[in-house]
Amino acid sequence: MAEQEYDYDLFVIGAGSGGVRASRIAASHGARVAVAEEYRVGGTCVIRGCVPKKLLVYGSHFAEELQDAANYGWTVGDLKFDWPTLRDAVLKDVDRLNAAYTTTLENNKVERFLERAEVTGPHSVRLASGREVTAKYILVAVGAWPVTPSFEGAEHCITSNEVFHLPELPRRVVISGAGYIAMEFAGIFNALGCHVTVVNRSETLLRGYDESLRDRLLQITMARGIEYKFNSPFDKVVKREDGCLEAHLAGKPDPLVCDLILVATGRKPKTPGLGLETAGVELGENGEIKVDDTGKTTCDSIYAVGDVTDRVQLTPVAIREGHAFADRVFGGKETTISYDCIPSAVFSQPPLAGVGLTESQARNAFGSNIKVFSSDFRPMKNIFGHRPERGLYKMIVDAGTDRVLGIHMIGPEAPEILQAAAIAVKAGLTKADFDATVALHPSMAEELVLMR
């Protein structure tokens, strides 16, 4: 088929962060672009993920802030929380963002199909309406989907997709899993006055984060009233006549009685039913699309970016991958992506964040040739709140070169502080560079340049 016979230069399946960025940049290079999205423009992060979840985190923080207000001289009346007000405000902002992403595509003359699309060949896509279109290149950016459980009664549970639409605030919540999604919602529900129990198959929460921070978060959240059941896989869930749920755990004689069970046990690339096999696109064991360093699949005309590749499931990574793809294929720029020193955060309560190697990772890589600096302190913010919770910052350093290998922290505003610190780690700065920087006082961030 001659190039001019294609309907589009680029057809994107999925209008999330990565797909929208790729569409916009490709169009700016003069490409004829179309994108298909079966739900809403914006993707997981904007519609049912990190953005609305962060707004819920902000809303839940007021429970603590209002309690502290009296100690700062404020007279606060009877405190009352209304879940529908917060829920509807969050969903209204989701509507705003959906419209903003849609406008971005419109302004860049990207044609939109608000329906499902499936690959039918190396250069062809079939829409749910039955229309088949062709494109020189196809980009798959459909993201990932919550892993659903297979135990008896799983239909009575919800995932993070549905949690933003709850008709009312549950009194008792059981959360399955102990990853970042589980810990963030555990903090939200706990702060809003729910009784929260976190149930995990293993004995580890937030796998991949620094062990000291994980231990500190466990201590603090237990003190705040969150209960944990480790090494406790689900056996079954039973819905009682009164509407309550019973979570039966393997090896436990008594079930957990609750009003809501949230399953947060990970996310899986959303590739089933995409028809990728018709174009010879190879998938991995988890259903992820296998790609090379440029995002190209095993079919030369089909690329993939974002969570569907299961490399790094983070929105900023998907955006960079989508941008780099468009620059390479349509802009003639040899743009590369570095997956080294990607900062990440968990908006738990308190939040934690990290960049670079953890202490255990550094010891595995460098043996005893590392230095670990730390600051264990009580944030000034907690003093009038009469909370004994302490923050913890850690810096991992290569003893031979003095280069900072990683920074990890837990405490108020840790993610905001880490973003700037991540630049220093990415740039390969040394501990001496931090030591030579004058502290900004009084702040929590100054602890980064005071560790000795």
What residues are labeled active site?
441
Residues β-bridged to residue 274? none
Cα–Cα distances (Å) from 359 to 37, 94, 216, 259, in that order, read: 42, 38, 15, 39
Place of tokens 């670079």: 356
Picking from 321, 330, 332, the residue whose alpha carbon sits closest to that of residue 21 is 321
> Regarding beta strands 33-36 and 111-113, do their DSSP bridges make them parallel or antiparallel, or are they unpaired?
parallel
Alpha-carbon distance 181 to 350, whole Å? 14
Is residue 278 within 8 A of residue 124, CB to CB? The reply is: no
CA 96 to chain centre: 20
Tally of CB atoms within 10 A around 446: 15
Place of tokens 């837990």: 410
Cis peptide before 350, with omega less than 30 degrees from 0?
A: yes
Picking from 141, 143, 146, the residue whose alpha carbon sits closest to that of residue 164 is 146
Sign for the CA dihedral angle at 302, 307, 308, 312 comes to positive
Alpha-carbon distance 2 to 76, whole Å? 72
400-430 as b/e: b if 16+ CB within 10 A:
eeebbbbbbbbbbbbbebbeebbebbeeebe
Beta carbons within 8 Å of 52's beta carbon, 6+ residues apart: 90, 91, 93, 94, 164
Query: Considering all CA atoms of the chain, what is the largest pairwise distance in Å, rounded to the nearest integer?
Result: 75
Place of tokens 């903003």: 100
Residues β-bridged to residue 296? 303
Picking from 209, 180, 409, 218, the residue whose alpha carbon sits closest to that of residue 314 is 180
